[in-house]
Amino acid sequence: MFSDNPLVLTILNELRQSDESLSLYKLIKILEKQGYVLADQEVDESSQMMLFRKNFVVMNALYQLKLNLIDSGFNLFISSLKIQLIPELNIDTLAPAVRSSDVQADAALSDYYLNWDNFYLTDEQGVEKLLSGFWNCFTKYHQSHHVDDKRLDSLQVLGLESSASWKDIQQAYRQLITVYHPDKGGDSLKFIKIREAFLILKLTRT
């Protein structure tokens, strides 16, 4: 069971009005600007501990909202860097390849933030561990998305859509490499870009 979080309706309203996704940091600042006190400063409390408590309160509200949106036709994408309300039919445009590990991680985070015991029982050492885990996830997130971006850029070089198969990639590469080969009067710079794009696609093939 979980207690109703008074921030749920306010956050829903903010997400509806926003034309773009919000980061957790930006959402916290919006709520504080509206006068919400997300965490009182305790005596001898570190800034990291206070930040943890603010984050927890807002994340609890977000995961409560996500549950409330079930069967509503909308879904809520939640990460520290991107929070967005999206129609369920358009979820693939936000995450073209939803990995099972991502779904499992989201379920684990939901369980964590909906359990208020984790709010009350986490100490300074626990916060240090959580922050360390966050930065590890942050690094992996950017590494994986950098690879995804390079793959999409490489597909564009070959004139292909994101859904292109490995067979499509090979066929497009063979055709383009013939047209732009310097020995046949082609553009040498374009030829190099095509070779590089093919190599990236080959290395990132799943």
Do residues 109 and 187 share a domain?
Answer: no
Yes or no: say if 65 and 4 are a contact pair by the CB < 8 Å rule: no
- DSSP, collapsed to helix, strand or coil, labels residue 203 as helix
Ranges 141-145, 164-168, 196-200: which has the least confidence: 141-145
pLDDT tens, residue by residue, 111-140: 888 888 888 877 767 555 555 554 555 555
For residue 89, name the pLDDT band (cuts at 50, 70, 90). Answer: low
If asked whether residues 34 and 117 sit together in one domain, one would say yes
Who wins on pLDDT, 1 or 174? 174
Q: Please report the pLDDT score of residue 140 as a whole number.
A: 57
Same domain, 21 and 104: yes
Tell me the CATH number at 175: 1.10.287.110
Same domain, 38 and 104: yes
Angle at 130 between CA 125 and CA 133, to 5 degrees: 130
pLDDT tens across 94-104, in order?
444 444 445 66
156-182 tens-digit pLDDT: 889 998 888 889 999 999 999 888 887
Q: How far apart are CA 181 and CA 196, in angstroms?
A: 14
State both tokens at 168. Answer: 């499509």
| Structure confidence at residue 206 (pLDDT) | 57
Domain that holds residue 191: 152-203
Of 26-35, 41-50, 111-120, 137-146, give the lowest mean pLDDT range: 137-146
Same domain, 167 and 74: no
Separation CA 156–CA 160 (nearest Å): 6
Model confidence at 56: pLDDT above 70: yes
Q: Which residues pair with 78 in a beta bridge?
A: 83
| Burial 169-193, CB ≥16 within 10 A → b, else e | beebbeebbeebeeeeebeeeebeb
> What's the confidence (pLDDT) of residue 95?
47
- Residue 81 pLDDT: 82
Helix (H, G, I), strand (E, B) or coil at 10: helix
Same domain, residue pair 160 and 61: no
